[in-house]
Amino acid sequence: MTLMTADEYVASLRSVRKRVFVLGEEVGDYVDHPLIRPSLNACAETYAVAQEPAYEALATARSSVTGERVNRFTHLHQDPGDLVAKVKLLRLLGQRTGCCFQRCVGMDALNAVDSVTFELDRDLGTGYHARFREYLRHVQARDLVVDGAMTDPKGNRRLAPGEQADPDLFLRMTERRADGMVVRGAKVHQTGAVNAHEILIMPTQSLAEADAAYAVACAVPADAPGLLCVVGRQPSDSRKLEGVDAGNARFGGHEAVIILDDVFVPWERVFLCGEVRHAGLLVERFAGYHRQSYGGCKVGVGDVLIGAAQALAEYQGTEKASHIRDKIIEMVHLNETLFACGIACSAQGTATASGTYLVDLLLANVCKLNVTRFPYEIARLAQDIAGGLLVTLPSERDFQHPAVGGYLEKYLRGVARYSTEQRCRMLRLVENLTIGPGAVGYLTESLHGAGSPQAQRIMLGRLADIGSKVRLAERLAGYGETSGSL
Binding region for ligand SF4 (CB under 6 A): 100-102, 104-105, 191, 293-294, 297, 445, 449
Neighbour count for residue 45 (Cβ, 10 Å): 22
Site string for Fe ion, 408-447 (x = CB under 5 A): ----------------------------------------
Contact 310, 328 (CB under 8 A): yes
Q: Considering 30, 128, 294, 315, which one is annotated as catalytic?
A: 294
Of 267, 249, 24, 292, nearest to 128 by C-alpha is: 267
Q: What is the identity of the amino acid at 50? A: A
| Residue 297 interacting partner from Fe ion, ligand SF4, none (CB closer than 5 to 8 Å by kind) | ligand SF4
Closest CA to 117 of 129, 106, 103: 129
φ and ψ at 221, to 5 degrees?
Answer: -60, 145
Q: How far apart are the first and last CA of the chain?
A: 72
Residue (161 or 449) nearer to Fe ion, CB:
449
Q: How far is CA 271 from CA 110, 228, 267, in A?
A: 11, 22, 8
CA-closest candidate to residue 250, choices 45, 480, 440:
45
Active-site residue, 33 included: no
CB count within 10 Å of CB 318 equals: 16
Active site residue 273: no
Give the integer Cα–Cα distance in Å for 38 and 248.
Answer: 9
Per-residue binding letters, 447-486, with Fe ion (x by CB under 5 A): --x-------------------------------------
For the CA atoms of 434, 436, 440, 446, the dihedral, rounded to the nearest 10 degrees, stands at 0
Other CB atoms within a 10 A radius of the CB of residue 441 amount to: 32
Question: Quick check: is 424 catalytic?
Answer: no
Catalytic choice (297, 341, 345, 367): 297
Whether residue 407 lies in the annotated active site:
no
Nearer to ligand SF4, 192 or 274 (CB): 192
Give the side-chain half-sphere CA count within 13 A for 362.
Answer: 9
Q: Which residue number, 37 or 129, has a Cβ lying nearer to ligand SF4?
A: 37
| Alpha carbon separation from 274 to 102, 161, 244 (Å, rounded) | 29, 13, 51
101 binds, among ligand SF4, Fe ion, none (CB under 5 to 8 A by kind): ligand SF4
- For residue 297, indicate whether it is catalytic: yes
Q: Closer to ligand SF4 at the Cβ: 306 or 386?
A: 306
Which of the listed partners (ligand SF4, Fe ion, none) does 102 bind, with a CB threshold of 5 to 8 Å by partner kind? ligand SF4
Q: Which is nearer to ligand SF4, 143 or 445 (CB)?
A: 445
Is 193 or 324 the residue whose CB approaches ligand SF4 more closely?
193
Smallest distance, ligand SF4 to C-beta of residue 232, A: 14
Task: Tell me the closest approach of the beta carbon of residue 450 to Fe ion, in angstroms.
Answer: 6
Report the C-alpha gap between 459 and 310 in whole angstroms: 37
Closest CA to 254 of 25, 35, 19: 35
Partnered with residue 199 across adjacent β-strands are 147, 220
Q: What's the min distance (Å) between Cβ of 293 and ligand SF4?
A: 3
Q: Give the C-alpha distances (Å, rounded to integers) separating 234 from 47, 255, 317, 400.
A: 25, 9, 33, 27
State the minimum distance, in angstroms, from the CB of residue 234 to Fe ion. Answer: 14
Q: Which helix (H) or strand (E) holds 40?
A: helix 37-48
CB of 450 to ligand SF4, least distance (A): 7
Q: How far is the CB of 451 from Fe ion (least distance, A)?
A: 10
Verify whether residue 290 is a known catalytic residue: yes
Q: Which is nearer to ligand SF4, 254 or 423 (CB)?
A: 254
Name the active-site residue from 74, 117, 151, 191: 191
**Does 148 help bind Fe ion (rule: CB under 5 A)?**
no
Q: Is 191 in the active site?
A: yes
Judged by CB, which is closer to Fe ion: 41, or 310? 41
User: Is 218 known to be catalytic?
Assistant: no
Catalytic residue among 33, 47, 75, 104: 104
> Annotated catalytic sites, by residue?
100, 104, 191, 255, 290, 294, 297, 445
- What is the binding site for Fe ion (CB under 5 A)? 449
